[in-house]
Chain A
Amino acid sequence: MNFGFTEEQELLREQVRKFLEERCPTSTVRSIMNSDAGYSSEHWSQMAALGWLGLMIDESHEGVGLGWIDLIVVLEEMGRSLCPTPFVSHCLTASTLCELGNEEQKKTCLPGLASGDTIGTIAVLDIPDDPIADNLTLQASADPGGIILTGTKPFVTDAGSADLFLVAYRHANKPGLAIVRRQDDGVSASSTATMDLTKRTGTLTLENVKVPAAQLIPMTEAQLIRLLDKGVVAVTAEMVGAAEAIIEMTTSYARERIQFGHPIGKYQGVKHRLAEMYVDVESFKSLAYFAAWCVDEDPDQLPRAASLAKAYASDAFAQMGIDGVQLHGAIGFTQEYDIQLYLKRSKWARPMFGDADYHYERVAALTL
């Protein structure tokens, strides 16, 4: 029994944190989030050089060959820094290809993903937001030697920066994933900024896109759900880091800001709320770590574990975003001050891969 990280994992955390503190302070976050691309290609190649982009890709396909427990260490730190990057989408793409792709597909796609030359994302649901199989509705039509896809996928994270899309479809009553490239005929992807400028979303439009059989990955409904559960885990891990940043910023402000002759952190209206935030983050952190462990080590437990983590985190982090601003007073409301960036992140994270209502209901369905 050992519910802690290894020395190597702690070193990885140190490395990521140091990198982000040096290369991606909030001044940098702000300039990237206000750029057209919405991410920094310079960061991207540095991350590739450090091996993070191929973290979960096996060594025979030019990756590093680590697992989900290693990945969440990186994700937690990314969340803490708010670094705008298609990293989450990219990892989900790589992890899915590693697990479901055939050898030929792996050989063609994985080395490019590991080196960062290709940016990947997933385009799964046609009806947002609950991550259930019924919300995948895109029907492929038959074509000699493959399928034809026509339709639009809404809210595709990082659609604007991705080169490679794993597009979910249904054909002959079975779900599948098509490997589609941005430059393929009939493919167009838009990019929009929503409330949280550090995360980009977009619409993927497919018009008569011919996908040859070699680019198709057959999948079961269970594998579809597992893919979405990985998304749940990844987003929740980012929420842990971002939520810790809210506590850190707000406690240090509460130690310094003087009102009524004392630091405001002396007053229980302030300190007790911070203590409650600490309790919440400690708790959804434990739940998220366990869910991440389940991805590789105990897949049967993953649905319940992932839902418990995301349900808890969605409610708690959203409230922390609001209270973080509130506890700063007017300064927290300013564009210039960073705490509001975390409030916006909490809005982004809440519905991603299912909100608290969805996940609590799923737990009830599994256990009641």
Chain B
Amino acid sequence: MDFEYTREEEAFRQEVRDFLDENLPPREQRGSDFMENWLARVREKRWVGFSWPREVGGGGGDIMSQVILKEEMAARRAPPLGTCMMGLAWVGPGIIQYGTDEQKARFIPDILDSKYHWCTGYSEPNVGSDLAALQCKALRDGDHYVINGTKIWTTLAPIASWISMLVRTDNFGSEEAKHEGITALLVKLDAPGIEIRPIENMAGQRAFAQIFFDNVRVPVANRLGDEGKGWAVTISSLANERSSIGEVTAMYSKLESLKELVRRTTRNGKPLSDKPSVRRELARFEAKIEAMRLNGLRYLTRQIRGQPLSSETSVNKLHRADLEVEMGDFAVSILGQAGNQTRRQEGAVDNGSWAADALGWPSVVIGGGTPNIQKNIIAERILKLPKD
């Protein structure tokens, strides 16, 4: 057991730090062209698609260096390495693993260059946690598929150019064989027959939408993987969303801002940082975040040693979901009525950012598979309890 880094790893960490010193000025000194320059500079470094093979334009980086990169970026609250978030997170990895050479050449460079947004079309009005029961259908017509149906909660749909979606091409209405007959398609969102209706969430944002497909024709060449085998494509590309290292650093910095808040806030004339319940709660957050960090390192070690993981990542997902809710709510709960002020109110504490935090958790808690589903995964795959 050791928590040291090799000399090469330390050198890489230093390289990232030097890069950030040079290219990440404090917020108030950033000009209007900052983001454009940032994206170009990280692209030059080949840090976008860091772990992707070099042949497709990625960085070919190993796991440890990726962890270091994420850690350093999160510690400095650096902007993302690209704006094509879903492309970088799983659409790209899916195309690299299952795509044809033509698809790789067509899509991967654009993802790396943040040319446009991708969105992900899995959920439907009647299909959420039980994703394999999806109904949106696509029938073959010559060298095209014709899609009819609807997708919902599609994040980024209002601004995206492409959607990576799952459709049913076979086994309609079959509960037993629902995992078969699902096909993955890459669809351009300006195709005739597509209508996108944004949905406002409780925080007042219109980041997701419902999409309607009315006889939308998609070339067969845009199919990802084999017909009817879309389930496997989905499972393995979602598996790319693994290491929680970057998240841990971000949660530590959130914890720091909560500590800073309780030090400068008084109640009945005394700082909140003196209040036992406040102190205990913050320390409890710290124990969970530190546990996430160390769980992550333990699982990472197993990965590096080539020992297969089961569904251990659900452990940190559950912690993350709890913390997202608890930490998001903590500030508003200790601030009393002032905590409920939003940014629309003049003089709101910290510009109403705490109230916004208290409304942001569903993206993490519901969006990435609900806690109940994570618990089923642990109970069934790790503890080998019967399926329900």
Q: Which of A232-266 contact B (CB under 8 A)?
A: 247, 251, 254-255, 262-263, 265-266
> What residues of chain B lie closer than 8 Å to A69, measured between beta carbons?
1
Chain A residues with CB under 8 Å of B139's CB are: none
Contact of B388 among A271, A278, A298 (CB under 8 A): A271
Interface string of B1-39 (1 = CB under 8 A from A): 111110001000000000000000000000000000000
Residues of B with C-beta under 8 A to A271: 375-376, 379-380, 383, 385, 388
B283 located at the interface, meaning its Cβ lies under 8 Å from any Cβ of chain A in the complex: yes
CA distance A308 to B293 in the complex (A): 13
Q: Which of A2, A3, A262 contacts B386 (CB 8 A)?
A: A262
Report A-chain residues with C-beta under 8 Å of the C-beta of B3.
1-3, 293, 297-298
Q: What are 11 A-B residue pairs whose CB atoms fall within 8 Å in the complex? A: A2-B1, A2-B304, A4-B302, A254-B385, A255-B385, A278-B378, A282-B315, A312-B291, A363-B286, A367-B286, A368-B259
Per-residue interface assignment for chain B, residues 363 to 388, with 1 indicating a CB less than 8 Å from any chain A CB and 0 otherwise: 00000000010111011101111111
- Give every chain B residue within 8 A of A290 (Cβ-Cβ): 290, 294
B295 touches A2 (CB 8 A): no
Q: Cβ of A337 < 8 Å from any Cβ of B?
A: no
**12 further contact pairs, Cβ within 8 A, besides A1-B297, A255-B385:** A2-B2, A2-B3, A4-B1, A271-B376, A271-B379, A282-B295, A286-B297, A286-B298, A297-B2, A360-B283, A364-B282, A368-B259
**Interface membership of A5, Cβ < 8 A:** yes
Residues of A within 8 A of B387 (CB): 266
Instruction: Name the CB-closest residue of A to B274.
Output: A368
Is B318 positioned at the interface, with any CB of A under 8 Å from its CB? yes
Checking A275, A282, A284, A286 against B375 with a beta-carbon cut-off of 8 angstroms, the contacting residue is: A275
- Contact partners of B304 in chain A: CB under 8 A: 2
CB pair B385 A360 closer than 8 Å = no
B305 within 8 A of A: yes
Q: A65 CA to B174 CA in the complex, in Å? A: 64
Which of chain B's residues have a CB closer than 8 A to the CB of A286?
Answer: 291, 294-295, 297-298
A268 lies within 8 A of B259 (CB): no
Q: Which of A2, A272, A282 contacts B379 (CB 8 A)?
A: A272
> How distant is the Cα of A69 from the Cα of B319 in the complex, in angstroms?
26
Cα distance A281–B133 in the bound complex, in angstroms: 34
Size of the chain B interface, CB-CB below 8 angstroms: 51
A79 to B1, CA, bound (A): 22
What's the least CB distance linking B17 to chain A, in Å? 17
Q: Which of A267, A275, A283, A367 is B259 in contact with, Cβ under 8 Å?
A: A367
Whether A110 sits at the interface, judged by CB under 8 Å, is: no
Complex Cα distance, B158 from A273, in Å, reads 40
Verify B319–A283 contact, CB threshold 8 A: yes
Which residue, of B280, B291, B300, B374, has the highest number of chain A Cβ atoms within 10 A?
Answer: B291
Give every chain B residue within 8 A of A283 (Cβ-Cβ): 288, 291-292, 295, 315, 319
Cα A270 to Cα B3 in complex, Å, equals 37
A interface footprint on B258-289 (CB within 8 Å = 1, 0 otherwise): 01001100000000010010011011101110
* Interchain CA distance A279-B375 in the complex, whole Å: 9
Question: Binary interface profile of A, 1-36, with partner B (CB < 8 Å = 1, else 0)?
Answer: 111111000000000000000000000000000000
Task: Return chain A residues, CB-CB under 8 Å to B298.
Answer: 3-4, 286, 289
Describe B's contact surface by its main secondary structure: helix
Q: In the complex the two chains form, what is the Cα distance from A276 to B378 in whole Å?
A: 9
Task: Determine the chain B residues whose CB is within 8 A of the CB of A274 once the complex forms.
Answer: 379, 383, 385
Contact: A266 with B300, CB < 8 Å?
A: no
Does residue B64 face the partner (Cβ distance < 8 Å to A)?
Answer: yes
Chain B residues whose C-beta falls within 8 Å of the C-beta of A311 in the assembled complex: 283-284, 287
What separation, in Å, do the CA atoms of A6 and B305 have in the docked complex? 11
B279 in complex: contacting residue of A266, A267, A312, A364, CB < 8 Å: A364
- In the complex where A283-B319, A367-B286 touch, is A4 in contact with B379 (Cβ < 8 A)? no
With contact pairs A4-B1, A274-B379, A364-B282 given, residues A268 and B287 touching in the complex (Cβ less than 8 Å): no
A-B pairs with lowest CB-CB distance, top 9: A286-B294, A283-B291, A364-B279, A271-B379, A265-B385, A360-B283, A275-B375, A275-B378, A363-B283
Which of B284, B294, B379, B385 makes the CB contact (< 8 A) with A287? B294
Smallest CB gap from B378: residue in A? A275
Q: Which residues of A contact B276 (CB under 8 A)?
A: 361
Residues of A whose CB lies within 8 Å of any CB of B are 1-6, 69, 247, 251, 254-255, 262-263, 265-268, 270-272, 274-276, 278-279, 282-284, 286-287, 289-290, 293, 297-298, 308, 311-312, 357, 359-361, 363-364, 367-368
- CB contacts (< 8 Å) of B384 on chain A: these are 251, 255
The reply to whether the CB of B247 lies closer than 8 angstroms to some CB of chain A is no
Contact B64 A1 (CB under 8 A): yes
A235 to B374, CA, bound (A): 30
Q: Mark B32-76, 1 if CB is under 8 A from A, else 0.
A: 000000000000000000000000000000001001000000000
B312 within 8 A of A: yes
Whole-angstrom CA separation of A262 from B387 in the bound complex: 11
Q: Does B301 contact A (CB under 8 A)?
A: yes
Q: With A and B bound together, what is the CA distance between A69 and B305 in angstroms?
A: 19
Q: How far is the CB of A225 from chain B (nearest CB, A)?
A: 18
Pair B379/A1 contact, Cβ less than 8 Å: no
| B262 to A, closest residue via Cβ | A368
Bound-state Cα–Cα, A282 to B4, Å: 22
Q: How far is the CA of A263 from the CA of B284 in the complex (A)?
A: 35
**In contact, B319 and A1 (Cβ under 8 angstroms):** no
Residues of A within 8 A of B294 (CB): 3, 286-287, 289-290
Does the CB pair A308–B378 fall under 8 Å? no
* Cβ contacts under 8 Å, B385 to chain A: 251, 254-255, 263, 265-266, 270-271, 274
Given contacts A2-B301, A275-B375, A278-B315, contact A368 B282 (CB under 8 A): yes
Contacts of A312 in B (CB 8 A): 287-288, 291
- The closest CB in chain A to the CB of B256 belongs to A367
> What's the Cα separation between A1 and B376 when bound, in Å?
32
In contact, A364 and B297 (Cβ under 8 angstroms):
no
Q: What B residues does A6 contact at CB under 8 A?
A: 1
- A contact residues around B280 at 8 Å (CB): 357, 360-361, 364
